[in-house]
Structure 1
């Protein structure tokens, strides 16, 4: 068993709703409704069970609700106030160490992306670096909105999975 998370599954199952929301309320960026949904499906078998429940929550949302989930994510490489999780993830991907030219390019891509799709570009920063982020945003600008919504939600699932594994011991 890996003990890289903060809590065992037994400890997670003992949390009350407020404690659970405090810990898991940002698994999906600033989305306590998702945490409430998952909490109501206790007891949890393991970290994978919690991951599947967050994914199920995302999959049951309407297109408009999925777009709202995406709109909670900060622009990559921006200087806006971010959650601690987003700050760590973007730092790890080198988004705060971009050259001035790359930062300007990313800001341009972020603007074009948001104008085109109506939500920010979302990618799992922990599975990328600044170069791959720039490549992906440029490439994904060519998608239609339906394709991009699906891709973006899959990226949110990757982010959520890693955040859950940071919180819960897993094997």
Structure 2
């Protein structure tokens, strides 16, 4: 299991569509902001990935840590086009990655909405979010440029996450699909 924080339901739906062969998802243009929690599942490489798409609103962030103990990786999706909320997202990110329960858990940073011309580049997003290596700690981490709406970077994100979970199996063993 892993958490999708400050995530976009569009990223989750696009992931399920690209990985689960027979999944017929929600029309992407019908998706609204997550209020509370969305749950999704992807079956790939002998694993079942259970997504927790947690709402990013400040009042909902107090619930995030309830999911950390069962997380095998974190995918943190940043809206690269929303520069007004970027600092709030960075504060939430720092609080999340310094939580002891997530110590050593692989981290994927997704710079989403790269299809929008005004979006900050992946390089700039990385400069902002990874400026404090000591906060990230001793964990495997990676960043990817994506557009959840058109699917760019989504499959690469899931493939990296699966591989990272498998490499980190000594610290947090994943559950096999048939368990």
What is the TM-score of this pair, normalised by structure 2? Answer: 0.26
- Report the structure number with the largest CA radius of gyration: 1
Which protein, 1 or 2, shows the higher relative CO under an 8 Å CA cutoff with sep ≥ 6?
1
Hey, which of these two has a bigger chunk of helix by percent? 1
Hey, which of these two has a bigger chunk of strand by percent? 2
